[in-house]
Amino acid sequence: MKESEARETIEKLRREIEEHNHRYYVLNNPVISDFDYDLLLIELDTLEKKFPSLITGESPTQRVGSDLKNEFRQYDHRYPMLSLGNTYSEDELRDFTDRVEKTAGGPVEYVCELKFDGASISMTYKNGVLLRALTRGDGTKGDDVTMNIRTIRSIPLRVKGENIPDEFIMRGEVLMPRAVFERLNNERIKCDLPAFANPRNAASGTLKLLNPRMVASRELDCMFYFLLAEELPHETHFDNLMNAMKWGFRVSDNIRVCRGIEEVMSFINSWESERKKLPYDIDGVVIKINSLALQEELGYTAKSPRWAIAYKYKAEQVSTKLLSVSYQVGRTGTVTPVANLEPVFLAGSTVKRATLHNEDQIALLGLHVNDMVYVEKGGEIIPKIVGVDHSSRNENSREIEFITSCPECATALVRNEGEANHYCPNYLHCPPQLKGRIEHFVSRKAMDIDGLGEETVDLLFKNKLIRNYADIYNLRTEQLIPLERMGEKSAINIVNSINNSLAIPYNRVLFALGIRHVGETVAKTIAEKFRSIDKLIGASLEELTSIREIGPKIASSIISFFADEDNILIIDRLKSYGVKFSEDGNKEPVSDRLKGKSIIISGVFRKHTREEYKEIIENNGGRNSTSLSANTSFILAGEEMGPSKKEKAAELGIPLLSEDEFLKLIGEE
């Protein structure tokens, strides 16, 4: 390869790696596996070594990824917080121990530790009291998250014992137990927040919250793995950790001193399967030189210590037979292919199905019925097919072709240009979509009917008690009580909640109808212009598109919805039950402090819910918006606001107002 070609490839790799660093460290939303990331880094490192004149100090191979955030004060690390070199190869690990023992002139003691997959933290103690806690940051400085760290019960705020240095640093990994992670994701999904990809992302994201109370509610834990000080109690890494354990720090019981590579490999191999039994995620084993004197002699590269290495486990992969492909229709009509597999045990559970995403993925894999396929869990959570064993394929096997009609209602599927997914356009009559529309209708932001979750709606469907959301208002307690998992109290609560929903205002009723492309904000805009459902039903395309935020796509969807006679019959029934289909009259705003201002709400708030803030904005003369543009007046920014939105706001010069600043602006104490 010529130097000019190498330069172009190196620059491309650096841009790609920096983007993945940003997603991993800052957004807590990686899009590739650790293994794939490491392959990119290895490719870059190999090219730079071949063309050393192209190495720069800014290259990802020369520095640590950064998780710094502007919301936190930053401090320098007294000792650089470097990354570890890592390998997936036993041969490379043996090369590491050979180099170490050559330098040492003989056998060496190694300390093997489980590589917990969490968020790194560095904590300074002075006179036995926690002074400051910093994230890894960029390796030289980190974010001060002391207030959040204080909420983690397994972290001592004060230590007592023998041989405690006047000032020392403990480093560890902040973790989220799998059970807490699953509960947190369920809560986030219910609140229409994006789910975390894995416990590591959840732990890292939690540490960067601005509300310590919310941090405390997430039940984080911490495992410690490193003691640093000018004068340490002992001359070995292991003995210092055991000393720290006596002071009150939580050090893993599974740390071992190994003599030679064979003992190291025995430790690694034993934990490859045993790790599934742990309450936390680990992704490998860290091997460190035990002697501090030898550590000092071996020294550091610009990015990592030469006296430690991480052996990382590859994502667990198994081979099994593809029996068939079935197709699921989602609530919005999206059709997803699912691989039905011969049951196989993988990463702690029996896997029978795996996602195939879309037609392009099937074509890319070139799947045939009865193929032997390789399956792994993406991020150790979702099973997916990653390859095919072509050598075992039957020559007469049938290639899998994507279906052309909906498996639920037989309607011809549609795939729009530029989109990856097929969908069923029969959203008014396709059974899964019908149930989805009912679930949307009863949801918290729509009609807010408690007790009618996904399972209950499905139960009512199976018992032929409902077919559309107007049927909900015919339900009686005597019909519900005999149903499975119901009972008298639950039945009474559901019926009461159905009756209470008659007070839901017109704009939320419009949103509840589930008209494609009509979200909360659009529904409010429509309700302001067409103050009754009858006026909206009679609106022309020109009248609809004349409204701000209503384009041809939304307008056409509204007209199609009301052109369906079944929908009109359902609306007539809802009217007869007392559902509100008109505004109660002109509502006078509380003030005009926000008159003429277009405001976006983003993030999580402490003093009001997002719904309450939308109402507050409207009551003070403002307008809620969902699209960020130069016309946006400001963003009401809560915790967990998306970094991409924040970056775009900075580019456009759109100010961010905190919750307190906003409340002060409108005069609320």
Residues 627-638 pLDDT 10s: 788 888 999 998
* pLDDT mean across residues, the chain: 86
Residue 157 lies in a domain: yes
Domain end among 544, 577, 610: 577
Residue 593 lies in a domain: no
Active site residue 115: yes
Residue 79 lies in a domain: yes
Q: 451 and 377 in one domain?
A: no
Q: 604 and 485 in one domain?
A: no
Q: 181 and 241 in one domain?
A: yes
- Of 68-72, 144-148, 402-406, where does the model show the most confidence? 402-406
Residue 426 lies in a domain: no
Q: 295 and 337 in one domain?
A: no
Residue 419 lies in a domain: no
Residue 588 lies in a domain: no
Residue 350: give its domain's CATH number.
2.40.50.140
Residue 27: give its domain's CATH number.
1.10.287.610
pLDDT in the model for residue 381: 56
Q: Name, in order, each residue with C-beta under 8 angstroms of 50's C-beta and a sequence gap of 6 or more.
A: 1, 6
Mean pLDDT of 217-226: 91
Give the domain extent around 199.
74-312
Domain end among 256, 285, 312: 312
Q: 441 and 295 in one domain?
A: no
Q: 200 and 118 in one domain?
A: yes
Q: 36 and 134 in one domain?
A: no
pLDDT in the model for residue 574: 96
Give one DSSP letter per residue of 353-406, joined into a string: EEE--SHHHHHHHT-BTT-EEEEEEETTTEEEEEEE-GGG--TTPPBP---SB-
Q: 206 and 118 in one domain?
A: yes
Mean pLDDT of 584-592: 65
Residues 636-666 pLDDT 10s: 998 878 777 788 888 888 889 998 889 988 8
Q: 281 and 177 in one domain?
A: yes
Residue 660: give its domain's CATH number.
3.40.50.10190
Residues 171-185 pLDDT 10s: 999 999 988 888 888
Q: 547 and 604 in one domain?
A: no
pLDDT in the model for residue 28: 52
Which bin fits 93, alpha (ψ -120 to 50), beta or left (φ > 0)?
alpha
Which range among 65-79, 215-229, 393-407, 631-645 shows the weakest confidence by mean pLDDT?
A: 65-79
pLDDT in the model for residue 194: 66
Residue 411 lies in a domain: no
Q: Is the pLDDT of residue 345 over 60?
A: yes
CA distances from 225 to 24, 111, 160, 254, 290 (A): 22, 11, 19, 11, 12
Residue 271: give its domain's CATH number.
3.30.470.30
Mean pLDDT of 524-547: 90
Q: Which structure tokens are listed for 114?
A: 């489980």
Q: 549 and 654 in one domain?
A: no
CA distances from 316 to 349, 617, 628 (A): 12, 50, 42
Is the pTM here over 0.85, yes or no? no
Sheet holding 598-602, edge to edge: 623-624, 598-602, 634-637, 656-657
Give one DSSP letter per residue of 30-79, joined into a string: -SS-HHHHHHHHHHHHHHHHHSGGG--TTSGGGS------TTS-EEE-SS
For residues 187 and 577, which has the higher predicted lDDT (pLDDT)? 577
For residues 56 and 616, which has the higher predicted lDDT (pLDDT)? 616
Residues 54-113 pLDDT 10s: 877 667 776 545 555 556 788 899 998 888 888 888 999 999 999 999 999 999 999 999
Q: 262 and 128 in one domain?
A: yes
Mean pLDDT of 438-465: 89
Residues 258-280 pLDDT 10s: 999 999 999 999 998 888 889 88
Q: Which of 115, 208, 524, 580 is catalytic?
A: 115
Domain count along the chain: 5
Residue 68 lies in a domain: no
Residue 510: give its domain's CATH number.
1.10.150.20
Angstrom distance (rounded) from CA 357 to CA 363: 11
pLDDT in the model for residue 277: 86
